[in-house]
Structure 1
Amino acid sequence: MNSPENIEFLNFLVKRFKIERDKFDRSGVYAYTQRLFAYHSNKIEGSILTEEQTAFLFDNGTLPRSDDCYRAKDVEEMNGHFLMFNRMLDTLDEPLSQELIKQFHYELKSGVFEDRANGYAIGDYKQRPNMIGMYETVRPENVTQEMNLLMDWYNSQEVDISVLAEFHARYESIHPFQDGNGRTGRLILFRECMKNCVVPVVIEDANRNKYLEALKEYREEKSLDKLITLFEKEQQFYFEKCKYFM
């Protein structure tokens, strides 16, 4: 059951995201969420950009003067995450679909030189087998079938945090794209929380090991206990951070 507090919070987020984005406001909850989400989701995948550098990039389109070396891919993927988040906001009224998921991936990856140079499919499912560490994922020729099954299952559910946890774990196990599966998966999670009046989940890099362990537990034992517990913790984290803006 969606609590009145959750519904009020989600209505606030949707309204403020639109107003602040349209006004190029970099001082409210929209900009805060963009910076927070992009920083942590990319950090989980190995980005070396700091929170300050992420904020500079989002607010000004520049990086602070520093003796540090910046990896081009980190900058390109950070900008891609900002664009992917905006695409998500633009399509909140649409049902989740494979075409929409591919659009999210395109926004994330279309500006990444390294991926294009490597011949990765951008905005489309993978063309080469890939792995999660030592774990095999779904082969390219079977991805569409597995994604069809996942979407059919999801569309038959009454969505709550446990359903979202299962969707996320299954999506990551399929690993439909050559790269960017974690970031697109976490964006879908955030989006579907918003659409279903569930407090959004933002996975902190500090909890990266717990997150990976929870996904491993699902792959090996089909248990969602650790993932649901982590999601509930991260919901509280994001909610408490956003209350400042209410």
Structure 2
Amino acid sequence: MIEKLTKEYLDDLLVRLAHHSSAIEGNTITLNQTVSIILNDTIPGSINKREFYEVENHKQAFEYIQHNLLNNEKLSLGVIKEIHRLLLDHLDFNRGNFKNISNAIVGAEFDTASPEQTPNLMYQWLNNYEYLIENAQTEEEKVRIILEKHIEFERIHPFNDGNGRTGRMIMLYSLLENNLPPIIISKELKPRYILGLAEQDTNLLYDLAQPLIEKEKDRMQKFQNKIN
């Protein structure tokens, strides 16, 4: 799919992903400031250094997944680790590696995987994802599988930090790899999104995602119309 998307649309997609995915994690940089950082290489005044990199790093991670998808690179543990390494540049000393310390999710009533469990769980996660996607028959099945695996990824919480941003970038990778429209979860939808993750409710996330997919199809078409 990615080879059919216009540069303007991809720029728009990147800006929205960087802004909303970071905002879900508490980043306060505005959408307009994100445009300045991502597209204009301009740093607006009085921006927190960490928040700047949380947004800015989406650019190099997004360029990486574009390159991979154009070269038909399948999702792999190596790809997942590299996405994390790029997203956590300047932010985490252990970037690009699975966690080496135990971590937790604020407000969660379950334990994330231990550092010792994580490599094997992620290996199983990927194998199961590949099997389910290969045997899916419809677009809806594929979207549901990707959302279900997103929930599982976040519960494993395989990295020291940046699991939310990494998980949403992986979800984008999976959707585009399977010729599906992107899903950009806006910061306004955070309460429902977090509830879906906490309750392991794929149906809730699918109900949340379905109108976003339809809006994204329309947005893609509008950008396509501009060059016709």
CA distance in 1, matches of 2:41, 2:55: 11
CA distance in 2, matches of 1:30, 1:224: 27
How many angstroms does 1:54 deviate by? 0.2
CA distance in 1, matches of 2:87, 2:106: 22
CA distance in 2, matches of 1:29, 1:16: 7
**Equivalent residue in structure 2 for 1:81, among 50, 54, 58:** 58
Partner of 1:153: 128
| Structure 1 contact 77–111 (Cα < 8 Å) conserved | no
Partner of 1:240: 218
Partner of 1:61: 41
1:218-237 residue pairs with structure 2 within 5 A? 218=200, 223-237=201-215
CA distance in 2, matches of 1:171, 1:198: 20
| Structure 2 contact 74–177 (Cα < 8 Å) conserved | no
**Equivalent residue in structure 1 for 2:89, among 98, 107, 110:** 110
How many angstroms does 1:165 deviate by? 1.1
How many angstroms does 1:188 deviate by? 1.0
How many angstroms does 1:79 deviate by? 1.2
How many angstroms does 1:15 deviate by? 3.2
How many angstroms does 1:58 deviate by? 1.2
Could you report, residue by residue, the CA deviation over 1:52-102 in whole angstroms, capped at 9, with x for unpaired residues? 1000011221134x5xx3110111111111111111111111111111100
Partner of 2:148: 166
The structure 1 segments of at least 4 consecutive aligned residues displaced by more than 4 Å after TM superposition are none
SS of residue paired to 1:140: coil
Could you report, residue by residue, the CA deviation over 1:118-151 in whole angstroms, capped at 9, with x for unpaired residues? xxx1100011111111432001111001111111
Look up the equivalent residue of 1:14 and give its one-letter code.
E
How many angstroms does 1:43 deviate by? 0.6
TM-score using structure 1 length: 0.82
The 1:150/1:102 distance shift into structure 2, 3 A limit, reads same
SS of residue paired to 1:141: coil
SS of residue paired to 1:197: coil
CA distance in 1, matches of 2:48, 2:54: 10
Partner of 1:37: 17
Partner of 1:52: 32
Could you say what the CA RMSD is over the residues aligned between the two structures, in angstroms? 1.4
Higher relative contact order (CA 8 A, sep 6+): 2
| Structure 1 contact 16–29 (Cα < 8 Å) conserved | yes
The 1:108/1:50 distance shift into structure 2, 3 A limit, reads same
Q: Where do 5+ consecutive residues of structure 1 fail to align?
A: 1-9, 21-27
CA distance in 2, matches of 1:242, 1:102: 29
User: Is 193-202 or 39-48 further displaced after alignment?
Assistant: 193-202
How many angstroms does 1:200 deviate by? 1.5
Aligned residues: 213
How many angstroms does 1:225 deviate by? 1.1
Q: Where do 5+ consecutive residues of structure 2 fail to align?
A: 137-141
CA distance in 2, matches of 1:94, 1:71: 35
CA distance in 2, matches of 1:40, 1:192: 18
Partner of 2:80: 101
